[in-house]
């Protein structure tokens, strides 16, 4: 595998891991604000899905940013 490809995979993995970690923190905050038994049972799945949602939001925002940046860098016709 090329070095550049490894760097891209490493960057994507770091973004994914940070998103899942942030999702875990959000889920823990939800559990601590409503400590019912049901919340504790679903905390793991909530952390995963909230983290996945954060990852999708981040990637969508990054895609929009790249499109805007590409349009600005094009020379006028």
Q: What is the pLDDT of residue 20?
A: 94
59, with CB counted inside 10 A (0-12, 13-18, 19+), is middle
Output the pTM of the full model: 0.79
Domain ranges of the chain: 3-73
Dist CA 6 CA 12 (whole Å): 10
Q: Which of 29, 21, 10 is nearest to 48 (CA)?
A: 21
pLDDT tens-digit series, residues 54-69: 999 999 999 999 999 9
Q: Which of 22, 56, 29 is nearest to 43 (CA)?
A: 29
Mind listing the pLDDT tens digit of every residue in the chain (77 residues)?
677 788 889 999 999 999 999 999 999 998 888 877 777 788 888 899 999 999 999 999 999 999 999 888 877 66
């Amino acid at each position: 595998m090329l070095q550049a490809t490894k760097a891209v995979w490493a960057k994507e993995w770091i973004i994914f891991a940070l998103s899942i970690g942030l999702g875990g923190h959000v889920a823990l905050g939800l559990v601590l604000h409503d400590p019912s038994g049901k919340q504790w049972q679903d905390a793991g799945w909530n952390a995963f899905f909230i983290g996945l949602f954060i990852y999708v939001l981040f990637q969508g925002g990054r895609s929009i940013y790249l499109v805007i940046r590409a349009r600005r860098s094009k020379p006028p016709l």
